[in-house]
Amino acid sequence: MDVTFLASVTDHAGPFATVCADVTHITENADAELDLRVRALADQLTEQGAPEAVVEAVRGRLLEGNEGGEAGTYRGRAVVAGPDGTVLFDAPLAAAPRTETAEWSPLPDLVTVLRALPGRIPHIVVVADRVGADITVATAPGLPTLEKTIEGETHLMRKVQVGGWAHHRYQHTAENVWISNVQQVVDEIDTLVEESGARFVLVAGDIRARQIFTDRATPKIQDVLVDMDEGGRAEGADRSVIDQRVEELVAENDAAEQARVLEQVEAATAHGLALTGTAPVVEALRKAQVETLVLADEPGDEQLYIGTGPLEIGLSQEDMAALGVTDAAQVPADRALLRAAVGSNAGVVVVPRSALPDGAPVAAVLRYTDDSTPS
């Protein structure tokens, strides 16, 4: 997964407040219940030494914009704030967290946030009819989705039974209008697939519009196209079936990505382009050798040392002294590793620990090797 969106946090100096909260708002007493939950989280930050400006910034973000949840919908929200109260990250979670967390620490707990974010797979949703389409583009978790609407020609949209010599002309004209409208959608989606790196394009809506879209889709779209019969564009149409299908496709692609990366680790190991274990991965991260960092979902209690720069990372104080860092902080290993990955533009994938070789907490696929790379 591309985690460069987290640079908005890791580029700043700490300490940080990291909160994963349940902001469900679906009952008559939702306002009071939410206020109590947020107050408890704010108290936890205060008890850990977070300044009032930070506490108030987090409290404000958690309380705003949570009205209107549908019955049966449980929602979560992640907020990260810097030492002056600036909110550096604010995004919805895939679901309300089972356990709410609030922490004031030298490094933000971005690994916990990363595991809970929705939309880890870039994708496009197209809800089409014969006039145009509503398009949603999700790129990376934590970034806003792009929403676009394409409206085509509506003149002579309906095929009519006029009889006589004009009948076929009217029929042909309406069909041409439909095709022209859908072609505009195809052209737009072709560009968006290229820009977003979408792993799938889900097309829902009117059956004839979907048929035209599928027939005229470019090879680039065809490679990632998924068609579904349900869902519509009309006002008041039920979008829940589309949202459910998106969740299924994201989960399928996420699982496929994990499997692909693990296969890549195995294959790269045979050629000396993969490392397993904390010590060799730390050394590779310092040299920006890592192309993909693979973190275990259960990292354990291992600690690493860090400096102010993301690639200032080591196993000991001696390591940090060798890097010229005299005031190193000790932090959980997975946080230090993720920070270094963001700082070196490496991708990150979180997998079950049992899937990693020998149950290691971390592995890495390398961009290159040098004479010091372990064989």
> 3-state DSSP call for residue 261?
helix
What is the pLDDT, as a whole number, of residue 312?
Answer: 93
Model's pTM, two decimal places?
0.73
What is the pLDDT, as a whole number, of residue 357?
Answer: 80
What is the pLDDT, as a whole number, of residue 303?
Answer: 94
Higher pLDDT among residues 49 and 172, named by residue: 49
What is the pLDDT, as a whole number, of residue 160?
Answer: 47
**pLDDT of 341 above 70:** yes
Alpha carbons within 13 angstroms on the beta-carbon side of residue 181 total 27
pLDDT digits (tens, 9 = 90+) for 299-321: 788 999 999 889 999 999 999 99
**What is the Cα–Cα distance from 304 to 312, expressed in whole angstroms?**
10
Overall average pLDDT of the 35-56 stretch: 94
Residue 176 has what DSSP assignment? Answer: H
CB 61 within 8 A of CB 19: no
Token pair 């969740």 is found at: 247
**The domains spanning 123-253 and 271-366 adopt the same CATH topology:** no
Higher pLDDT among residues 241 and 160, named by residue: 241
**pLDDT of 163 above 60:** no
Sign of the four-CA dihedral 240, 246, 250, 252: positive
CB 67 within 8 A of CB 12: no
**pLDDT of 97 above 70:** yes
**pLDDT of 103 above 60:** yes
What is the pLDDT, as a whole number, of residue 91?
Answer: 85
Least confident piece of the model among 32-36, 100-104, 137-141: 137-141
- CATH no., domain 123-253: 3.30.420.60
**Percent of the chain's residues with pLDDT above 70:** 89
> Any idea which fold 271-366 has?
60s Ribosomal Protein L30; Chain: A; (3.30.1330)
Overall average pLDDT of the 169-176 stretch: 62
> 3-state DSSP call for residue 304?
strand
Higher pLDDT among residues 212 and 163, named by residue: 212
Rounded to a whole number of angstroms, the CA Rg of the chain reads 25
**What is the Cα–Cα distance from 282 to 265, expressed in whole angstroms?**
16
User: What are the residue boundaries of the structural domains of the chain, listed by start?
Assistant: 4-116, 123-253, 271-366
Q: Can you state the angle between helices 30-47 and 52-63, rounded to 10 degrees?
A: 160
Higher pLDDT among residues 142 and 93, named by residue: 93
**What is the Cα–Cα distance from 316 to 322, expressed in whole angstroms?**
10
Cα 248–Cα 254–Cα 255 angle in degrees, nearest 5: 95
